[in-house]
Chain A
């Protein structure tokens, strides 16, 4: 299973629509003060659903290179 090395969130651009949080298949993201935040990076499977469907260019997922 792919993993994420890190997830960058641009809080200035995030409008808090929650699309990413709700579409995340592994519950790795959460809302904190109306903005997206990483809840558990370990859970992330780097499926890129959140990045792909973030309308605000606010999430970037960096996949872990295969070990």
Chain B
């Protein structure tokens, strides 16, 4: 039986705004399946986003949804969570949103280990404003603001999250749609700040100008470049050249921010 997404989609909002071949729709579907498998009450789920293409996602899903200002998804989400810890809070945003303009909120949420689930939709470019380079644009790649090729080094989002103290960090791709669903589910089940970096494709802004002729070729690049983190442990650096790992990259049990806060201050219930 085909999966019925309608239960979680707001009626009348599709087709979505994303370009042909943009992989955000694939991730949206993975996200819906993951949430559905956890049987959350829709009234208890809050989804926040910043500004950018993926930040339009909350508008399509039937939860409490908050499309905030550029980069501030996690900061708004923090307010929601602290005010009502019973809510299941998801904060999402793109690579520019989360690691450039919102980088400060990203690292500090990781440091606090507040129980928020963060999804970073990494498509290596600012898509909505027309293909400007982001902190994850690969060196040498073309962007409208890097017409001679990207000259800056880029962020590894998962390393950034681990270094900053997130207690669950995973990477997946839009191509690996069922793996993506699994990573999202595990992240949601984890108590503490969890980050899932989701490798996505922007065929319009990034692909066309960077030797990916079709959206499918970008998906196949993900397929060919992703190595499961367990498998990667037995691979040499030479074998891993040009590849990236997917799976749960880091998981640890450590005190969650609000539990620590409430206990320390002796919060009057």
Contacts and interface: CB of A to CB of B under 8 A. Distances in A.
Contacts of B177: 52-53
A3 interface: no
A51 B25 CA distance: 11
A22 interface: yes
A39 interface: no
Given A53-B177, A62-B1, A17 B26 contact: no
Contacts of B214: 18, 22
- A12, A13, A17, A55 — most chain B CB neighbours (10 Å): A55
Question: In which size bucket is the chain B interface?
Answer: 20 to 34
Interface in B158-193: 174-175, 177-178
B113 interface: no
Question: In which size bucket is the chain A interface?
Answer: 20 to 34
Interface in A8-22: 12-13, 15-19, 22
A56 B26 CA distance: 8
Interface of B: prevailing SS: loop
Given A52-B177, A60-B2, A62-B1, A16 B14 contact: no
A38 to B, nearest CB: 15
A45 to B, nearest CB: 15
Contacts of B14: 13, 56-57
Nearest to B175: A53
A16 B127 CA distance: 19
A13 B9 CA distance: 14
A23 B223 CA distance: 12
A47 interface: no
A43 to B, nearest CB: 18
B26 A53 contact: yes
A67 B20 CA distance: 38
A54 interface: yes
B37 to A, nearest CB: 15
Contacts of B28: 55
A57 B2 contact: no
Contact of B215 (A13, A17, A60, A61): A17
B153 interface: no
B106 interface: no
Contacts of A19: 21, 215-216, 219
Given A17-B21, A53-B177, A54-B26, 8 more contacts: A19-B219, A22-B216, A52-B177, A52-B178, A53-B26, A57-B14, A60-B2, A63-B1
28 contacts: A13-B14, A16-B20, A17-B20, A17-B215, A18-B214, A19-B21, A19-B219, A22-B214, A23-B216, A23-B219, A51-B3, A52-B26, A52-B29, A52-B177, A52-B178, A53-B174, A53-B177, A55-B21, A55-B22, A55-B23, A55-B24, A55-B25, A56-B14, A56-B15, A57-B14, A57-B25, A62-B2, A63-B2
Which 6 pairs from chain A and chain B are nearest by CB?
A55-B25, A17-B21, A15-B20, A22-B216, A17-B20, A60-B2
